[in-house]
Amino acid sequence: MLELRLVQGSLLKKVLESVKDLVNDANFDCSATGFSLQAMDSSHVALVALLLRSEGFEHYRCDRNLSMGMNLNNMAKMLKCAGNDDIVTIKADDGGDTVTFMFESPTQDKIADFEMKLMDIDSEHLGIPEAEFQAIVRMPSAEFARICKDLSSIGDTVVISVTKEGVKFSTRGDIGTANIVCRQNTTVDKPEDATVIEMQEPVSLTFALRYMNSFTKATPLSNQVTISLSSELPVVVEYKVAEMGYIRFYLAPKLEE
């Protein structure tokens, strides 16, 4: 038996909106630690890892580890029916073939339940090693989204370079080139407006902008995004999910042949 009650139901709505276009079907894993998901896009270029820790739920009951295969588009359709202020409860029986999403309005005057069919998904779970990154950039998530959107109107790939000057996002296309440099800036009124660059050594990697743009659909989840880079490793683009966890997108680089 599984019963997870999330007062801030809008978080789950936002999570689904940020992954549904990247991944079609995925297994949600439920354990004492929390509600999690790891899945790759169909071409295995990007991987998403979500964790919502059990402590972040108002009520968290998970009698035994459960893996629930869901079509993320269908799940997003159901969660769209929840109001932004609604409390969302996820319920499932061990061995059952459905999951129920219950939506309660804050004043308890409207209660809805949506039952969705589960599916069997063969998914491979990948071990993600703890990495030492050459550079970690923390910046406003809206700024990062703007940069990815702007650059994708010029080119298909972005070169992200971190030096002591700052972080540079560059692209080139048929019509020309573009370079955007963001410098460290910690003298801001609000901490969420800061740009912080921790560099162990300079690093420069190339990525497909199409995927970066897809990751920025998680922007409503967090004011800040963290971009972690190491030579010839997938970049990690992380958005915190309130105080309860994170959504991390891994993107494999384009490498010189």
Partner 1 sequence: GSKQSTITSFFSKV
Contacting partner 1 (CB under 8 A), which of 124, 132, 174, 243?
124
Least separation in angstroms between CB 255 and partner 1: 5
Please say which residue, 42 or 98, places its beta carbon nearer to partner 1. Answer: 42
Please say which residue, 7 or 154, places its beta carbon nearer to partner 1. Answer: 154
Ordered strands of the 157-163 beta sheet: 176-182, 166-173, 157-163, 203-208
Pick the stretch among 8-16, 21-29, 118-126, 195-203 that binds partner 1 (CB under 8 A).
Answer: 118-126
Pick the stretch among 14-22, 36-44, 168-176, 239-247 that binds partner 1 (CB under 8 A).
Answer: 36-44
Q: Find the radius of gyration of the CA atoms of the chain.
A: 19
Structure tokens at 75: 């799940």
- Name which of residues 49 to 108 contact partner 1 (CB under 8 A): none
Least separation in angstroms between CB 95 and partner 1: 24
3-state secondary structure 52-112: EEHHHCCEEEECCCEEEEEEHHHHHHHHCCCCCCCEEEEEECCCCCEEEEEEECCCCCCEE
For 67-96, b/e burial (b = at least 16 CB within 10 A) is ebbbbbebbbebbeebbeebbbbbbbeeee
Task: Check binding of 178 to partner 1 (CB under 8 A).
Answer: no
Q: How many residues bind partner 1 (CB under 8 A)?
A: 24
Contacting partner 1 (CB under 8 A), which of 112, 182, 196, 233?
233
d(CA 154, CA 77): 33
Pick the stretch among 20-28, 88-96, 121-129, 160-168 that binds partner 1 (CB under 8 A).
Answer: 121-129
Task: Check binding of 130 to partner 1 (CB under 8 A).
Answer: no
d(CA 255, CA 249): 19
Task: Check binding of 252 to partner 1 (CB under 8 A).
Answer: yes
Question: Which residues form the interface with partner 1 (CB under 8 A)?
Answer: 40, 43-47, 124-129, 157, 206, 208, 233-234, 250, 252-257
